[in-house]
Amino acid sequence: MSARILNGEAFASQIHLTTATRVAALRDRGITLGLVFIRVGEDPASRAYVSRKETRAKEVGISSRTLVLPESTSLAALLKEIDALNADPKVHGILIQSPLPSGLPNDIVYARVSPAKDVDGFHPVNFGKLLIGDPTGFLPCTPAGILEILRLGQIPTAGKHAVVVGRGQIVGRPLAVLLGRKSPGADCTVTVAHSRTPDLPSITRQADILIGALGRPLFLTQEHIRPGATVIDVGVNRIPDPSSPRGYRLVGDIDFASVQSIAGAITPNPGGVGPMTIALLLSNTVRAAEDATR
């Protein structure tokens, strides 16, 4: 048996079509969407990620630009740039590309972005709205993208046991909340585990839906998977690879080669969660513009 592939690229294309239609409707009203990425430093992975987001934004008709600041940028200088974008009515969405250089605290920087322009869904106000089920907040893009993968992949969720391996604020914790909500596409019984959970395989093998989001390369292997389970791989990890011109390759948290033969459905990596994260980012940007211009 080989698992059914949950093709994030194909699912993202469906969402992009809807997003492009909404962008066109705004354009007909004379509204040009503005999305600004802030990148501090020259981290190669960050440069590649932002470039990919800019390309997708252009494809759906969203005008985007990247504000590139030097690695040595102070917290005060970065916050001043964010304040200027918050005050600019032509900017509907602001995204701070992670990772930030050491010395720039994520919590302070993310909290400075206006909640109304926080299309990444990281602001404490939006996180609080997620926790209480307030639909006026922006959902974080990766967790929301995972729910869309389950929906578009026709994976049953109601009453299923979802195990999220990873407790981070960007993916693990918000995803656990979303999966446990009383709503279509959720209604799961949710367990949050992590790398220090004793006898982790005994927990993960209970999962109907297993999500790897702990940031450890190839950490979850065949011993962690119940046959027939749906497996979602969030991880993006570099491992050495002398055969690659870059000297490394990117892998997920799931050992795809060993897991594919027993899982019922699985996301590839790359080509699974990543494209959906971008799709939800652009959808959030359109919603920000729609809300701002009502």
The 10s digit of each residue's pLDDT in 206-217 is 999 999 999 999
CATH architecture of the domain with residue range 29-123: 3-Layer(aba) Sandwich (3.40)
CATH assignment, 141-275: 3.40.50.720
Q: Give the model's pLDDT for residue 200.
A: 98
Q: Give the model's pLDDT for residue 243.
A: 86
Q: Give the model's pLDDT for residue 228.
A: 97
For this structure, is 154 an active site residue? no
Q: Give the model's pLDDT for residue 1.
A: 64
Are 29-123 and 141-275 equal in CATH topology?
A: yes
Return the amino acid letter for 39: R
Q: How far is CA 219 from CA 212, 213, 234, 241, in A?
A: 8, 10, 12, 17
Q: Which helix (H) or strand (E) holds 63?
A: strand 63-69
For this structure, is 14 an active site residue? no
The parts of the chain modelled with pLDDT lower than 50 are none
The one catalytic residue in 117, 118, 120, 233 is 120
For this structure, is 120 an active site residue? yes
The pTM of the full predicted model, rounded to 2 decimals, is 0.95
Q: What percent of the residues of the chain are helix, what percent strand, and what percent coil, each to the nearest 5?
A: 40, 15, 40
> Quick one: tokens of 194?
């992590």
Sketch the domain layout of the chain as residue ranges.
Answer: 29-123, 141-275
